[in-house]
Amino acid sequence: MATEVTKASYVEAGKAYDRDMRYIPDRITAEPGRSRDRLDVTADAETGALQVPTWPVEPGRYRLVAARACPWANRSIIVRSLLGLEDVISLGTPGPTHDQRSWTFDLDPDGRDPVLGYERLQEAYFARFPEYPRGITVPAVVDVPTKAVVTNDFPQITHDLFFEWREFHRPDAPNLWPEEVREEMEVVMKRVFTEVNNGVYRCGFAGSQETYDAAYERLFTALDWLEERLTDRRYLMGDAITEADVRLFTTLARFDAVYHGHFKCNRNKLIEMPALWGYARDLFQTPGFGESIDFEQIKRHYYVVHSDINPTQIVPLGPDPSGWATPHGRDAL
């Protein structure tokens, strides 16, 4: 495993953190006539609207590359497991650290992904876009025959795993996008993303005291809202797990281990918010969630890669993760 990474800068002095949400827009779809193997993004001749490239659903064709350390990638690992797609879409897991170039497969024998043969995920991006101009991010779906990246659009990936791969879901797979609550769920997920998932990064990568203070207030306003919401309901949308829970869980799982100290989100710990802590433990103990979490990889990723925040790259030994296995009592709801 790599022990050092090239220094990368995530903090821009005097500025608030602004996440680049421009991803490869391709989708893998099941609808006949809409799917095709390869297509460049083009504009409709009459309307000017972008036509998003689509690829066909084919079991065994694609490899999901998702580092367990990354919360955005963690979502796709959980959804793949919940839906029973392990034998349909293979999984490659880069190690927890990366340099300015790319995530690397340093956990695999000889440091290469056993299916793609790559040392770096960057190679899959360059196989499709030789001069790819943005960051090499996870999760990424790779077309195994061509070894070229298909998409790295993380919210669309989990959406399509549910809607487009339904034919291959296990029989008792959960309904992650229930029609009866979908409109409200979209509102909840938007707030969770802007204020919590991305909110911890706004705190950690703030470039001034003023931008940090504003980010901190926004984050804990949202966490207080979630604490209240989860006091009398087991999950975000009621009595069943949805995509909204997957999206919130990956941030909560990292909160005390990383965000509380490393990102200065320290008004209180997760374990000091009774409803959220019980909810997080409930999910952690649900098949598909807890086994996707590797606290040592998570800590190593943040404390080593973010060398502008933690220049010594010392990884803390705590906190004790045993509390995640304690009874949560949420089934009473």
How far is C-alpha 332 from the geometric centre of its chain's CA atoms?
Answer: 29
Specify whether 73 is located in the same domain as 140. yes
Residue 58, pLDDT score:
97
Question: pLDDT at position 3, please?
Answer: 32
Considering the domain architecture, whether residues 34 and 153 belong to the same structural domain is answered as yes
For residue 142, being part of any structural domain is answered with yes
The position carrying tokens 């990366």 is: 98
Same domain, 193 and 325: yes
CB atoms within 10 A of CB 122: 18
Mean pLDDT, contiguous 10-residue spans, the chain (333 residues): 46 90 95 48 47 92 98 98 98 95 96 98 98 95 98 98 98 98 98 98 98 98 98 98 98 98 98 98 98 98 96 98 98 92
Is residue 7 included in any domain, yes or no?
no
Backbone angles phi, psi at 305, to 5 degrees: -70, -40
In a domain, 15, yes or no: no
> Is 203 designated active site?
no
> Do residues 243 and 110 both lie within one domain?
no
Cβ neighbours for 217, distance < 8 A, ≥ 6 positions apart = none
Residue 13 lies in a domain: no
The answer to whether residues 328 and 204 belong to one domain is yes
The answer to whether residue 6 sits within a structural domain is no
Considering the domain architecture, whether residues 188 and 143 belong to the same structural domain is answered as: no
Compute the distance between CA of residue 153 and CA of residue 22 in angstroms, rounded to an integer: 8
Helical ranges in the chain per DSSP H: 71-82, 122-128, 154-163, 182-191, 199-204, 209-229, 243-254, 274-284, 295-305
Six-digit token string for 41: 């993004």
CATH number at residue 256: 1.20.1050.10
Q: Which one from 70, 118, 216, 302 is the annotated catalytic residue?
A: 70
Are 321 and 187 in a shared domain? Answer: yes
DSSP readout, 187-207? Answer: HHHHHIIIIIITHHHHHHT-S
Is 235 labeled as catalytic in the residue annotation?
Answer: no
DSSP letter string over 303-323? Answer: HHH-TTT-TT-PPP----GGG
Domain span at 242: 179-332
Of 17, 201, 216, 279, catalytic:
201
Do 33 and 154 belong together in one domain? yes
301 contact partners, CB below 8 Å, separation of at least 6:
67, 69, 70, 96, 97
CA neighbor of 55 nearest in space, from 85, 29, 23, 90: 29
Domain count for the chain, please give it: 2
Q: Six-digit token pair at 235?
A: 């999950």
Same domain, residue pair 86 and 213: no
Peptide bond into 53 cis (omega under 30): no
Which residues neighbour 127 within 8 Å (Cβ) at sequence distance 6 or greater?
A: 146, 147, 148, 149
Residue 72 sits in the same domain as residue 114: yes
The tokens for 167 are 């034919």
Give the SS3 label for residue 329: coil
Q: Which pLDDT belongs to residue 195?
A: 98
